[in-house]
Structure formats: C-alpha cells, structure tokens
Amino acid sequence: MGGKLGLRLTGWVLGTLTLVFLAYQWLPIFTLALLSFSGPTGGTTFPMNGTSFHWYEELWRASVMNDFKPPLLRSTLLAIACSATTIVLSVMAAQAMRGRFRGNGWFFYLMLLGLMAPGILVGFGFAIMMRLLGVELSWDTTTFLVQVSWTLPFGFLTMLAVFNRFDARIEEAALTLGASRLTAFRRITLPLVLPGVIGAGLFGFSLSYDEYARSMFTTGPELTLPLAVMAQLDRQLTPEIYAVGTATTFFSLIAITLFTVAFWAMRRSTAVRRS
Amino acid sequence: MTVDALAASPPAKAGTAQGPARAQLDLELRNIRKRYGSFTAVDDVSLKVGKGQFVCLLGPSGCGKTTTLRCIAGLEEPDDGGILIGGKEVTQDPPWKRDIAMMFQDFALFPHMTVARQVGFGLEMLQRPKVEIAQRVQQILTSFEIAALADRKPASLSGGQRQRVALARAMITEPRILLLDEPIGALDYSLRETVMLELKLLQQRTGISFIWVTHDQNEAFSLGDLVVVMNHARIEQQGAPEDILLRPATAFVAGFVQGNNVFRGRMGEVLADAFCIETGTGTFLAPRALGAPPVPPGTEVSFSVRAEQITDQLSDRHVNRLTATCTAVEYFGSVRRHILERSDGEVLKYDQFGAHAARIVPGQRVTLGWAIESTVLHGRAGA
C-alpha cells in the first residue's frame, strides 16, 4: 500500500517537474509572442500598449527597413534542401557503417567532427577557403554546404541508432525470398526505419532553419532569416522583430507538425496490432 | 497442418543441361571454407544432398553449422570451394538468384506486412500476376490452417502461428531446397514434437530437400535421412542416424551423442580378430575386421561403448570388464540409467531397460562388462 502511494507521489513530483521545465522552455517565446500583438505605439517591453495585428501588417508590408519575406523564403528553401540532403546522406552513411569497411572508425569520427567544431570557426574557415578558391559566397551554395556539415552528423547519429536496433535477418529473409538488395531496401528496410529517417529530416530542417553562426560569413549579400533578424535587432528594436520571431516559430511548429503527422502515419502503418 | 495443396503442385524440376547424374543432387558442397579474420568458421566442408533428402546439420553452438547454411543461402560467400544447387554452380550467385528459401531461427517475419502480404512476397518477387498470388496465398494459408490470420501482422501472432507463417512464406515458391536454422528452437517445448512430425510429413510430400540446422540430437536423429555432425568448423561424421548412433567415427561424435561411454588409450597388441587397447582403467578388446590393417602399438586411440550394451550380468561373452562405483540412478521413461565412477575418475553410464527391480544402488561397487563387438573403435582403425 505504502509502495503504491510512494509510486503515485513520485509520479506527481516528476510530472510537475516536467511541466515546470516545459514552461521554462516555452515562456520566453510566449512573452515575445504576446508583445508582438501590441498596438501601433507599443514598445518592446511590458506593459503592452494596446493590442493589434499592427506589427504583423508591418511585417507583411515590410515597411520599416527590411523586407523579411525573401530571407524567410531563402531560409525555408535552405532548410528543406538541408533536410533532404541530410536524409539521403545520413541513411547512406549509416548503411555503410552497418557493413563495416576499411577505416570506418575514422569515417565515424570525421562525420562527428561537424558536431564538435565551433560553428563560427567552421563558417569563417569555410568562407576563407571559398575566397581562396574564388567561389562566390551565396546562401544557396556555400551556406548550404556548410550547414549540411552541421546537420548531417545529427542525422547520421539518428540513423546509426535506428540501424543498431534493426534486425538484419529481416533483410536477409527478403534476399532469400528473391528480393535484390535494392528491392529489399525499398520494400523492407526503408519502411521499417522510416520513423528514424523522418527524425533525421527534422534535425536537418530545424538546425538549418535557425542556424546563425555558420551562415554569418558564408552567406554573401542575400541574407537568411536569422541573419536578417540579427541585422534588424542591431538597428532598431520594434515589436516587428517579435512578430518575425512569432511567425517563424509558428512556421517551425507547422513543419514539426507535418513531420509528426507523417511519423504517426508511418507508425500506424507499421504498427503492432495487439490482440 | 495438411499438405495437400503443396503436394498437388508440380513437384520435380527438370534436370539441368549438365546431365542427369548431376541433376540427381539437389545440393553439393565442395570443400568449402570460410574464415573471419583468424577464426575459421567452416573448414573443408563437403556434402552431397540427393533429391528430396532431409539433412540435419548437428553440432554444438559455434561449430560452423549455421555459417555453412548461410553459405548455401548465399548470405555468406565462402573463401574457398564450390557450391552447386541442382547441378548448377552458384558459388558467386547472390541469394535471390538461388533456388532456395530459408527459415530463420526467430522466423524474421516482416513486421510491417500482413500475413497474406508477406507470404505472397516470394511470388511478388517472381513478378507473378496479382490474381495468381492472391490465389496461391489463400491456398497455402488454408493448407497451413492459418487462413484466419491473413490480415494480421506478426506482432499479434503466437509463436506457433509465426512459425507457420514463416514456413508458408518460405515454401510458397516451391524452392528446390529449404534451409532451416533451428526452426523449432523458438517454440514452446510442448509444441515441438507435433511440429517436427508435421514438417517431416510436409518434406516427404513435397519432395523439397530440407537442410535443417540444430544442436538438438533428438531432432536430428528423428528427422534426418542424413545427419552431418560438425565440430570446430569441420564435419566429424556424416551418415544415416543409425550409423552415427551405433558407429560413431570419432571420440567427439561418441561423446556428443547421448548414451556413449568414451575411453581413450593406446593401442596394444594386435590380434587376428581383435585390437587390445590399454587405458587407465584396464585393457579392452575391440573387434578387428578381417584383413583390417594393423595399427602400430602405442598409437593413441579412442573407443566407445553404448550405455545399453553394458551389463552387470556377466557371461563369457563379456570379455571387457571393469569395476566402478555407482553414484546415482536416474529414470528416463522406461530406461533406468546408472551413473558410475570409474577408477580413473571418469563417468560411466549404464542403462537398463524394463521394469524389473533395481539391482544396483548408489554407493555400490560393481563389476560391469560388455562383448567385444560392442566396442566401437574410432577413426580409420576400426573400419
């Protein structure tokens, strides 16, 4: 009886801690979101001066100093490209690691280097190297490359973990039933690791979408969203910037939701039906 | 499980271009060898499997039986040697080009596919029309009495049901050879005997060769037409179950097979019709076939005697004798087994059949004996 009570108490304590932690994580964003709805004369701190969609209208008209729409579009395209690239490369790299090959230990650590190296140095070094090679810096070439070096290790680790729990004999069964390696991958392996693949894609998207340090030196004149936001913060702080933050968070949430729905749909199709 | 559906399907595949002699063999392994780094998993294994034979690869874990099976499947490529399936050289072929199917130890069902879908997978790979696939899946599910499970996924099936699904999935394409890796090891003990019988009948009805890997000698001896005993990557002995039970060729086989007493010693005097073998517990006689070559005295040899060939009711026939102390008496069905300690500290097993009262009790010292012809000398010496 006492044990049961203790268990219940532990449950409550841990549940409360979890809620407090989530609030801690989300309240700052909520504060910004709230302030972004202040009236036309509103400042960047509490108390709010009225409520309106004024700053969102401003944002859409892009009147103040910068047009956030192109950076938003660039960042979104960049995040999608990084996500897709991360998916393809991380699945391939993790598959290669399953087979073991000469120097696979080195390969593993080199892949993870992108995770350890400080972003600002990577971006700076990469920019210098590109200059040396005479490559023009641009968000859709140099920034893309440098961001993939950041997102790829996350996808790689995700896929390694997924394949680590994967029963290779299921693939072998397909091979002995007449499936070629490609068919076995497409029909058996991929559907079973798809939740992990979506996870890798999600890492690729969200890490690229708000990456600042690596983009700073490698982007050239056409800025990505985080760079544009920083530029705006440097010059003039209005609730418009909060509106930008809220809008982008909202955007990320939509992306995450889409991935989650896809994930859930996959899980359902591969789900175990318990009798 | 009924097997009519499969038995009714066209059985024998026509002989190959390489002639009828080769086509008689479903499988031939020629001196295959497989190493992993410095570890040799399969060493110089040769095997011939006739049409529709039931072969059991028997041995302790790590003896190379599963690796041999995987080489046949094409999941491992041997470093040396050749593999022929139905007379056709397939050593370099990938699994999907071989006329085989495999049943894995834990069945390796596709977790994301319904029973019907995965049973039809093999036919789908052969690009058969959808209507035909559906029909044949229905047919095999019905004959395996799992038609009701067609829309279920593996996670919701019991062990016995999974086993049937795995079997149906492997057999639907009617491969020449079915490879089975400990196929009933994952089943409840109570199910095993029934399933063994069903599989034996199915094999006989379909004429598909079964290569069955197991560490359980009861499985091997009750199922196999041919039993191949492996140890340390090599084949120790292959033959009919009776051969292996009654005439173990090596000390390992004798020790591995239940009910043998193994003795090691040195060759002594060679008589016209017997070999004298000197051991730590005395000198024993083994039969020497007419004209069998002599063995140089001093050669290390081993021999075995089956526990049921020993007796405590000695007569002139029982020239091999030794004294031992009974330590325990065990009962296996109608068999009473006495565990005794030899004077060299080794264990001696002595089985009595029938329901008569025990004559020997623990602690008792007895003299036991056996006839010359009950001594099985190992190695070429006994041949």
pLDDT in tens, A137-156: 999 899 999 999 999 999 99
Beta bridge partners of B261: B305
Q: In chain A, whose CA is at the least distance from the CA of B111? A: A270
DSSP assigned state of B61: T
Q: What CATH number is associated with residue B339?
A: 2.40.50.140
Answer yes or no: do B16 and B111 share one domain: yes
Is A270 a residue whose pLDDT tops 70?
A: no
Instruction: Tell me how close the Cα of B288 comes to any Cα of chain A, in angstroms.
Output: 49
Tell me which chain B residues have a C-beta less than 8 angstroms from the C-beta of A172: 73, 75, 95, 102, 104, 108
Q: How far apart are CA B43 and CA B234, in angstroms?
A: 5
Residue found by looking up tokens 């091999």 in the block? B320
Could you say which of A169, A176, A275 has the minimum Cβ distance to residue B95? A176
Q: In chain B, whose CA is at the least distance from the CA of A266? A: B112
> What does the pLDDT average to over B341-362?
85
- State the pLDDT confidence band at A235, using cuts at 50, 70 and 90: confident
- Taking only residues 177 to 206 of chain A, the set having a beta carbon closer than 8 angstroms to any beta carbon of chain B reads 177-181, 183, 187-188, 191-192
What pLDDT sits at residue B19? Answer: 42
* Nearest-5° Cα angle at A82, A76 to A85: 140
Answer yes or no: do B264 and B217 share one domain: no
Phi-psi region of B31 (alpha: psi -120 to 50; beta: other; left: phi over 0): left
Contact B170/A177, CB-based, under 8 Å? Answer: yes
Answer yes or no: do B214 and B258 share one domain: no
What distance separates the 2 farthest-apart alpha carbons in chain B? Answer: 75
Could you say which of B101, B153, B156 has the minimum Cβ distance to residue A177? B101
Q: What CATH number is associated with residue B30?
A: 3.40.50.300
Answer yes or no: do B242 and B275 share one domain: no
Domain end (from B246, B277, B308):
B246
Task: Please check whether residue B209 is in contact with residue B40, taking contact to mean a CB–CB distance below 8 angstroms.
Answer: no
Q: How far apart are CA B295 and CA B274, in angstroms?
A: 11
Closest CA to B378 of B225, B274, B249, B222: B249
Instruction: Tell me how close the Cα of A30 comes to any Cα of chain B, in angstroms.
Output: 41
**What are A174-232's pLDDT values in tens digits?**
999 999 999 999 999 999 999 899 899 989 998 999 899 999 999 888 889 889 888 87
Neighbouring C-alpha atoms within 13 Å toward the C-beta of A268? 6
Q: Residue A179 burial (CB < 10 Å; 0-12/13-18/19+)?
A: buried
Could you say which of A176, A181, A274 has the minimum Cβ distance to residue B156? A274
Q: How far apart are CA B260 and CA B331, in angstroms?
A: 17
Answer yes or no: do B230 and B302 share one domain: no
Domain end (from B211, B246, B281):
B246
Q: In chain B, whose CA is at the least distance from the CA of A273? A: B156
Q: How far apart are CA A163 and CA A88, in angstroms?
A: 15
Answer yes or no: do B360 and B335 share one domain: yes
The mean-pLDDT minimum among B7-21, B158-172, B261-275, B337-351 falls in: B7-21
Question: Is A66-270 a CATH 1.10.3720.10 domain?
Answer: yes
Secondary structure class of B258 (helix, strand, coil): coil
Q: How far apart are CA B98 and CA B101, in angstroms?
A: 8
Domain range for B154 is 4-246
- State the pLDDT confidence band at A2, using cuts at 50, 70 and 90: low
Tell me which chain A residues have a C-beta less than 8 angstroms from the C-beta of B104: 169, 172-173
Q: Residue A102 burial (CB < 10 Å; 0-12/13-18/19+)?
A: exposed
User: Into how many domains does chain B fold?
Assistant: 2
Answer yes or no: do B261 and B214 share one domain: no
Instruction: Tell me how close the Cα of B208 comes to any Cα of chain A, in angstroms.
Output: 16
Q: How far apart are CA B143 and CA A184, in angstroms?
A: 28
Answer yes or no: do B236 and B255 share one domain: no
Beta bridge partners of B27: B49, B85
Torsion of CA A140, A146, A151, A153, to 10 degrees: 150
Q: How far apart are CA B77 and CA B75, in angstroms?
A: 7
Dihedral sign for Cα atoms in the order B309, B312, B314, B318: positive
Residue of A165, A175, A176 best to disrupt the B interface, most CBs of B under 10 A? A176
Domain end (from B224, B246, B268):
B246
Q: Is A81 at the interface with chain B, CB within 8 A?
A: no
DSSP assigned state of B55: E
Q: What amino acid occupies position B158?
A: S
- Taking only residues 152 to 171 of chain A, the set having a beta carbon closer than 8 angstroms to any beta carbon of chain B reads 167, 169-170
Answer yes or no: do B40 and B170 share one domain: yes
**What are A78-117's pLDDT values in tens digits?**
999 999 999 999 999 999 999 888 999 999 999 888 888 8
Contact B102/A172, CB-based, under 8 Å? Answer: yes
Q: Residue A88 burial (CB < 10 Å; 0-12/13-18/19+)?
A: middle
Could you say which of A167, A178, A274 has the minimum Cβ distance to residue B108? A167
Backbone angles phi, psi at B172, to 5 degrees: -65, -30
Q: Is B94 at the interface with chain A, CB within 8 A?
A: yes
Q: Is B156 at the interface with chain A, CB within 8 A?
A: yes
Is A118 a residue whose pLDDT tops 60?
A: yes
Is B163 a residue whose pLDDT tops 50?
A: yes
Answer yes or no: do B214 and B331 share one domain: no
Answer yes or no: do B138 and B285 share one domain: no
Q: How far apart are CA B145 and CA B2, in angstroms?
A: 8
Q: Is B62 at the interface with chain A, CB within 8 A?
A: no
Could you say which of A188, A269, A273 has the minimum Cβ distance to residue B110? A188
Per-chain mean pLDDT for chain A: 85
Could you say which of A177, A269, A275 has the minimum Cβ distance to residue B112? A269
* Nearest-5° Cα angle at A58, A56 to A64: 140
- ipTM of this complex prediction, to 2 decimal places: 0.84
Answer yes or no: do B59 and B208 share one domain: yes
Task: Please check whether residue B94 is in contact with residue B74, taking contact to mean a CB–CB distance below 8 angstroms.
Answer: yes
Could you say which of A176, A192, A271 has the minimum Cβ distance to residue B101? A176
